[in-house]
Structure 1
């Protein structure tokens, strides 16, 4: 007899969940699991992590999905382990070994090589990546045994810290902490560092410990989320405005807030600002603490950007309201 599947009753959920993504799951698989646990109607993420990578993955629910694109440009911090002396087809531990070489570099040479990768560098995206060419992901070409031409991309390495090194024994390796711009391929960086040391290399571990203002210390695992009660799961969410780090705050009174939410520009004595988070009052509190949306200021005009809907705002207020 076929078992009947339990239907999950979805509900509006608004906020940001900092997930510590486990090894082996794709970002979308992790998102769908968290969405199911929260019974959320709408969800998205702010960029992906490889299945072989772990670490902080901000997940956006409800109104937060309107601002998820803003976080794609955030700098990232990774901790990674590079196995020296072995190259693989995918530049990570899953790929077929294609080359082995002895490791004969010194600690001083490692430090010198790492310094070479600081600042702006050009990277050729790996074939085993989600980057698309002619509407098709590169990893799809790779699975078919095809290699296509890729243009180098300019990225910035802000910092490389050597956390540990082992240059002798059966598994010589480097453990690094890398702070970098968006679009940086750590697998490619590890492979290129190995080549610069003359022995080749590939990643055997990768963990994202920070993305923008969000650190892995504040993240929750799927196992921990599953063990929580419903109220505790909702309490694990950060407010939507957590995505608006670096935005100037502007507060509007009830009249101006209503017009702003209708997409009407407002005039004031504000200085020009590229990124503004706009707040207004709630029916129960005249203090402007309710997020209305984003905007920019030009020539004394507050020009609306991405706006929350009145329904979104009402649902957020109902969620935040204390139980009677």
Structure 2
């Protein structure tokens, strides 16, 4: 059974769980997980871990992300997207009177380090139960605001549609940011209401949707990113001697001489290219904090070379 990461371009209507279930069948293993969900309405990049590489997903979850979205100004909904029931609708002439300067100011106010109240239909747990499940059960759920980072919020184009104003935007943001909430808050700030009609995730850290595959075209063996390739895109790298690789595999500390300044867990790689594990360096010694099995097929192979674009 292969180990590694898979990049999936999720289609509209599928849940993240659907994608995981399909990949389990294609990969021939139950051990498949994902690094962050996408709503059924949304499309785009899902990063899946297979077998031992599910342990690398921890380092994917918190990465920054990029989205392309369409925000509809002029109406608010119960879910802050097009799948919810309409709550309010602004008069068409009021929407038509929104100036470009007002839109720009509203976007600027939602850029940077901001405080955001997640949508009530998010997957955040409230007393052990998902918020969206409580909403579906008829509860009035109000989630606490939390700090998030929106590093860029760019207006790409806009158009009038049936009394609404549709904005096509690109958002780069930190983990935990809800694009639906940006749509809601932009519409509220302009006094007309707002919600999402389209959402596509195009990047998670170093991984881009251009390198992803649709599930009905996925060839797991050909497209899986090896543990070494995946780990060294996510973490700093330490190249080992053969003896160091053996010693780490046996749980021994190793001496590391002239080690550059390395951050956090480090991917330790054997001379044959195999990911031995993740190590922690203190002073001139390193110890393993997570070992990877040497006997998984493809453990020392590479696939899907980096796109070369910055994260």
Question: Could you state the TM-score of these two structures normalised by the residue count of structure 1?
Answer: 0.86
The structure-2 alpha-carbon separation of the partners of 1:238 and 1:219, relative to structure 1 and needing over 3 Å to count, comes to same
Q: Evaluate the alpha carbon distance shift between residue 66 and residue 205 of structure 1 in structure 2; reply closer, same or farther with a 3 A threshold.
A: same
Aligned position for 1:158: 151
Q: In structure 2, what is the equivalent of residue 43 of structure 1?
A: 32
Give the Cα separation in 2 of the matches to 1:162 and 1:318: 43
RMSD, matched Cα: 1.8
Equivalent residue for 1:7? none
Q: How does 1:183-202 map to 2 (within 5 A)?
A: 183-202=176-195
> Pick from 108, 112, 129: which aligns with 1:136?
129
Deviation at residue 150 of structure 1 after TM alignment? 2.0
What secondary structure does 1:148 align onto? coil
Residue 317 (structure 1) shift: 4.9
Cα drift, residue 258 of structure 1: 1.2
Matched residue SS, 2:164: coil
| 1:268 Cα offset (Å) | 1.8
Count of aligned residue pairs for this structure pair: 295
Give 1:41 deviation, angstroms. Answer: 4.2
Map 1:5-24 to 2 at 5 A: 12-24=1-13
Deviation at 1:123, TM superposition (A): 1.0
Gaps of 5+ in 2: 303-311
Matched, 1:32 2:32: no
Q: Tell me the equivalent position of 2:66.
A: 77
1:239 matched to which residue of 2?
226
- 3-state secondary structure, aligned to 2:273: strand
Does the aligned pair in 2 maintain the 1:246–1:275 contact within 8 Å?
Answer: no
1:116 pairs with 109, 112, 115, which one?
109
Q: Aligned partners of 1:305 and 1:35: how far apart in 2? A: 27
Deviations 1:169-226 (CA, angstroms, capped at 9, x unpaired): 433211110000000011011100111111111101100011111111111001222x
CA distance in 2, matches of 1:276, 1:67: 12
Question: Distance in 2 between the 1:110 and 1:179 partners?
Answer: 18
Among candidates 119, 126, 133, match of residue 126 of structure 1: 119
Instruction: Please give the alpha-carbon distance, in whole angstroms, between the structure 1 residues aligned to 2:29 and 2:234.
Output: 28
Q: Is the 8 A contact 1:13 1:42 kept in 2?
A: no
**Which of structures 1 and 2 has the bigger CA Rg?**
1
Q: Using the alignment, how far apart are the partners of 1:254 and 1:263 within structure 2?
A: 15
Aligned to 1:316: 298
Q: TM-score, normalised by structure 2?
A: 0.90
What is the distance in 1 between the residues matched to 2:39 and 2:229?
24
Aligned partner of 1:3 in structure 2 is: none
Answer whether contact 1:13 1:41 (CA < 8 A) is retained.
no
Query: 1:248 aligned to 2:236?
Result: yes
List per-residue Cα deviations over 1:13-32 (Å, max 9, x = no partner): 21211100011111011111
Give how far 1:149 is off: 3.8
Aligned equivalents of 1:246, 1:35: Cα separation in 2: 24
Asked if structure 1 preserves the Cα contact closer than 8 Å seen for 2:228 and 2:299, the reply is: no
- Name the structure 2 match of 1:285: none
> Residue 257 of structure 1 aligns with which residue?
245
**Structure 2 residue 48 is matched with structure 1 residue 59:** yes
> Secondary structure at the residue paired with 1:311?
coil
